[in-house]
Chain A
């Protein structure tokens, strides 16, 4: 009987090395790009917010029903800035990129540098155009931050209008009217409230470690007043009369006590200010209720109310926009089509937008959804049972577009420093803005 002789050790070793090398080469190889058109698909989703993870997970059955795919989600969560860094690293490696990514609006401008977005992101414009009526229904104010050269690279999670939050009980106790029409009159009331009760009615952030947060305080009122950082061509338009007026208004408010400087909108300093009644009102985006007020002062449930901000006497609108997260699809992957269809059929359907508001508190980005009676009937317990959606609907037409630039982080760095100088009185508002523009132009060209 023939008995096969055992393989020599060297042969075994060579075989193992060969197999290892093959496995290694296969692992180093690029992702397959044969497009999936139907059937089972596992989408890799990267996001910084567990709320989005839950939203998309719950949207799978609906997406399965509306498309030819049967979806599964594989979610990776990481910080907003790390997410872009990791995405670029994977793109350089040629493998391991996700199918869908949520770009926090402050991090997205990195994708606008050079041709990164063109190389990496799927242009959603034709997909939107293919759905009847969708293009006109989407709010241009919320597609602007993610658009470059007429191509839309991400779909916003929110229409983050800026509103005025205030303590209803303390306003009543201090005899402060709730319908003051202009900021200027409101500031006078605020100075009195500070003098009599050491209570401030507006906040600026001085978070040194977060230039974005420092800029936000100024940004909200600047955009409400009709100013902007960049125009649609990504050119800096900061150095304007509106910007000077707004910065002057904040500096004056700091001196009168109407405005208080807080080191962090979300941390211990703000919590102390809210709990101690040092802050009885502030302008902020609609998401601040869930991310700032509810976690910091849950015991003040029912005492807060939301209203439209006062207007500036010299012009501007009733609101601004602050924040947002754009979800994009990575191009030229086998799952690109599946991811695009998933995004459109969860994120942009009428039901999806309603569900997004009820589950995450983020406002719809489609104009027609604001007419939904279900949303109009919702009451907010934290705000004493207020029906907030009517207010949001009224403000909708005033939401200004936010144009960004790949150099936005440079602007935020230089502007934050000069804003703090102006708040301290070391620079006049005019000088702070002039220097910011000058330093920006110097650094952006490098």
Chain B
């Protein structure tokens, strides 16, 4: 009897326990299920490719058949590859243009657009923003016409104004870099202006009024009120500009093809060229890993220096 009574009691407890655990499990599982799609996709399309790239960088592979293990050979070759060094140097120049020219200019334009009483403000904003939404192919076509040595618009203007033209904007290695820098300036400045403009509009008016009462001039107000208030936005813009410029591809690819004599070859173009023009996938993967490490490391450094994500004291 005892057994007979005990058994149902035990199974009843189990059932009760199961009934209690199941909703708990269900409840605790729910958030994971909700975030799971992102992580599944993240693993599939982010971590797996990164892992495969790492593995591929240790192999020699023509794009078909079995990759052949070569260890660190690709990295050793990269260390002595003049083209890769050139690409790193060129990319460094593009990063400097993006961070030290495009970002400050975007801030100045945002400041101008934020001026009280500016007429047709929306028109100005749109005008500055348009370049980023124009197809890079169109941009390359337009700037190709502008920079053409024989019949380009820029040289025609120079000829009309100063009687001298014939500047080889895209054919001279130094000027080709300048030309790419100008296109970057034209294309990216308006886009970054929007971020600064949003930041400027969030700066409390009282701060400006207080600065005015204290007798601060325009420059003083800008350096002591505007800039500190914009620090988080600036930090974001600097880091994203750095990452974007470090991976620059479209402008040099379409305008100069990395030339002349690799003077505008960026690291991403180097990777593309090795993989899709020369069938050196292992070598391309090694270059991609180097770029990833550099961009990741320097972005982290920027994050720390600029205090991104830290609560302002």
Instruction: Assess whether A406 is interfacial by the CB under 8 Å rule.
Output: yes
Q: In angstroms, how far is the closest chain B Cβ from the Cβ of A108?
A: 12
A-B contact pairs, 25 of them (CB 8 A): A81-B277, A85-B276, A92-B64, A113-B278, A113-B279, A115-B64, A116-B279, A208-B259, A209-B140, A214-B259, A263-B148, A263-B171, A267-B144, A268-B148, A268-B151, A269-B148, A272-B150, A273-B151, A413-B258, A413-B259, A413-B262, A416-B260, A417-B259, A417-B262, A424-B168
Instruction: Assess whether A211 is interfacial by the CB under 8 Å rule.
Output: yes
Q: In angstroms, how far is the closest chain B Cβ from the Cβ of A149?
A: 16
Contact A120 B64 (CB under 8 A): yes
Contact of A81 among B149, B262, B276 (CB under 8 A): B276
Instruction: Assess whether A123 is interfacial by the CB under 8 Å rule.
Output: no
A114 vs B59: C-alpha distance in the bound complex, in angstroms?
14
A372 vs B62: C-alpha distance in the bound complex, in angstroms?
44
Instruction: Assess whether B114 is interfacial by the CB under 8 Å rule.
Output: no
Q: In angstroms, how far is the closest chain B Cβ from the Cβ of A297?
A: 15
Contact A110 B168 (CB under 8 A): no
Contact B150 A208 (CB under 8 A): no
Residue-wise, chain B 139-152 has the 8 Å CB interface mask toward A (1 for contact) of 01000110011110
B258: A residues at CB distance < 8 A: 413
**B171 — nearest CB in chain A belongs to which residue?**
A206
A114: B residues at CB distance < 8 A: 62, 64-65, 279
**A420 — nearest CB in chain B belongs to which residue?**
B260
A214 vs B64: C-alpha distance in the bound complex, in angstroms?
30
Instruction: Assess whether B83 is interfacial by the CB under 8 Å rule.
Output: yes
**B74 — nearest CB in chain A belongs to which residue?**
A446
Contact A115 B65 (CB under 8 A): yes
Q: In angstroms, how far is the closest chain B Cβ from the Cβ of A160?
A: 22
Q: Which of B24-32, B201-209, B249-257 lies on the face that meets chain A?
A: B249-257
Among residues 127 to 180 in chain B, which have CB atoms less than 8 Å away from a CB atom of chain A? 140, 144-145, 148-151, 168, 170-172, 176
Known: A81-B277, A208-B171, A272-B151. A446 touches B260 (CB 8 A): no
A119 vs B254: C-alpha distance in the bound complex, in angstroms?
33
B254: A residues at CB distance < 8 A: 209
A92 vs B62: C-alpha distance in the bound complex, in angstroms?
11
A262 vs B62: C-alpha distance in the bound complex, in angstroms?
35
Interface residues in chain B, defined as those with a beta carbon under 8 Å from any beta carbon in chain A: 62-65, 77, 81-83, 140, 144-145, 148-151, 168, 170-172, 176, 253-264, 273, 276-280, 283
A273 vs B152: C-alpha distance in the bound complex, in angstroms?
12
Q: In angstroms, how far is the closest chain B Cβ from the Cβ of A253?
A: 15
Q: In angstroms, how far is the closest chain A Cβ from the Cβ of B210?
A: 54
A413: B residues at CB distance < 8 A: 258-259, 262, 273
A262: B residues at CB distance < 8 A: 150
**A410 — nearest CB in chain B belongs to which residue?**
B278
Known: A81-B276, A113-B279. A209 touches B259 (CB 8 A): yes
Contact B256 A110 (CB under 8 A): no
Contact A92 B63 (CB under 8 A): yes
A49 vs B263: C-alpha distance in the bound complex, in angstroms?
32
**B282 — nearest CB in chain A belongs to which residue?**
A446
Interface residues in chain A, defined as those with a beta carbon under 8 Å from any beta carbon in chain B: 81, 85, 88, 91-92, 110, 113-116, 119-120, 206-211, 214, 260-264, 267-269, 272-273, 278, 406-407, 409-410, 413, 416-418, 420-421, 424, 439, 442-443, 446
Contact B62 A417 (CB under 8 A): no
Contact B171 A424 (CB under 8 A): yes
**A271 — nearest CB in chain B belongs to which residue?**
B151
Contact of A420 among B144, B261, B283 (CB under 8 A): B261
Q: In angstroms, how far is the closest chain B Cβ from the Cβ of A207?
A: 8
Contact B260 A208 (CB under 8 A): yes
A424: B residues at CB distance < 8 A: 168, 171-172
B257: A residues at CB distance < 8 A: 207-211
Contact A421 B260 (CB under 8 A): yes
**A272 — nearest CB in chain B belongs to which residue?**
B151
Q: In angstroms, how far is the closest chain A Cβ from the Cβ of B194?
A: 30
Q: In angstroms, how far is the closest chain B Cβ from the Cβ of A181?
A: 30
A206 vs B171: C-alpha distance in the bound complex, in angstroms?
7
A442 vs B62: C-alpha distance in the bound complex, in angstroms?
19
Known: A417-B262, A420-B171. A446 touches B64 (CB 8 A): no
A88: B residues at CB distance < 8 A: 63-64
A208 vs B262: C-alpha distance in the bound complex, in angstroms?
10
B253: A residues at CB distance < 8 A: 209
Contact A208 B176 (CB under 8 A): yes
Contact of B81 among A210, A261, A446 (CB under 8 A): A446
A410 vs B83: C-alpha distance in the bound complex, in angstroms?
11
